[in-house]
Chain A
Amino acid sequence: MTAAREDIPIAADEDVVRVRQIVRSFAQRAKLSLVDQTKLVTATSELARNTLTYGGGGAAVVELLGEGRRQGVRASFQDSGPGIPDTALALTDGWTSGRGMGLGLSGARRLVDEFDLDTEVGRGTTVTVVKWSR
């Protein structure tokens, strides 16, 4: 596996596991520290599960980034679900529209270096995160 980009459909629980494994291997290739690897893997695990649970399934794209001397991993999760009506509320700790802990989206944002949430009600949601090596 040497591709710098991997597309993973998310349609079942097993796919969340697969996303985690692929992100972990990309994080290792980007030479992220063990802590950063774990943080990125955990964040993508949350986002992949959100895509599945709230977006009704979708796809993930994991990419290896190189910018000068630092390397990073970008993961983006796209669904065509109902979208998020109130992003500020969705990013509040402890708030959930489902049955989770309400920490997935807000927690994921704290675990990564760059976080981008693009959503429109009725069109779907795309969340992109980046973690850089230090």
Chain B
Amino acid sequence: MAVTTVSSADPPATRRSPGRAARRGHRGHPLAGFLFVVPFMVLFIAMILVPLGYAAYLSLFESKLIGGTSFVGLKNFAEALTDPAFLGGVGRMALFLVIQVPIMLGVALFLALAIDSGRTRAARSARLLAFMPYAVPGVVATLMWGYLYGPDFGPITQAFEAVGLQPPDLLGESSILGSMMNIVTWEYVGYNMIIMYAALRAIPTELYEAAAIDGASRIRIALSIKIPAIKPAIMLTVIFSVIGTFQLFNEPALLDAIAPVVITNGFTPNFYAYNVAFVNQDVNYAAAIAFLLGLVIAVMSYVVQLGSQRAERKVRR
């Protein structure tokens, strides 16, 4: 996947005149380039590749109180694939992916287009307000929404009671997933909007000025010129959302304190891995879950890309 970026940044080396620069390579001394990259790469290897390898290694073993640690091959993975707690969490995240992510990105795209179009009053302030939740830590956002949902002094309950209606139980079993989706949407619409908006601002105006002169409507311009032009940015937000969704941890971990019955310890796969590792003290099985989760994310990201490429080919044909 890196291939295109690498080539797109290649300067036209063939045009160079021969001389000292060409001999040394116009890019400067290769060793210098290597030295610029080394500090990052050392930490990258130590903090990402080594832990990844270590997780893979751990996942192949099993520790028992009696008998100690023994090699069990892929047994942990086989166990996870039939573990209802793990599969339940993955299933909930799949629901998140098909319900929450489209809503969040749809709202973000709408806001980005509306603000970029110049037809919204006080668009700058609206943009700032939408972006503000991104500055709020997930922990605080979850605490805050937990109180807003709450039956004691939550304003939602208060409003229902004020007009004499039965307040909804937003922290109950049937609604907790939706309540969580709302928290995540609130947190990340602005972030995704900024990515899309930045891309919209970078479209050269000539691209759609002609269409406007030809009398194309603004909606038409948005759909057929602007959205296709920022497709790379939209894809980026989709992939980040896939990754973010399967990593959800803060929301279940904090809602657990106020809704302990409905937040099971496998509510999200990541929360499950945490509970297996630190509550059940089974690091081997937790490593297998974390590894499987990484695999699910990689596969999902790949499927998303593949799907978008196929759709693009269809349009071109």
Do A and B interact with each other, yes or no? no
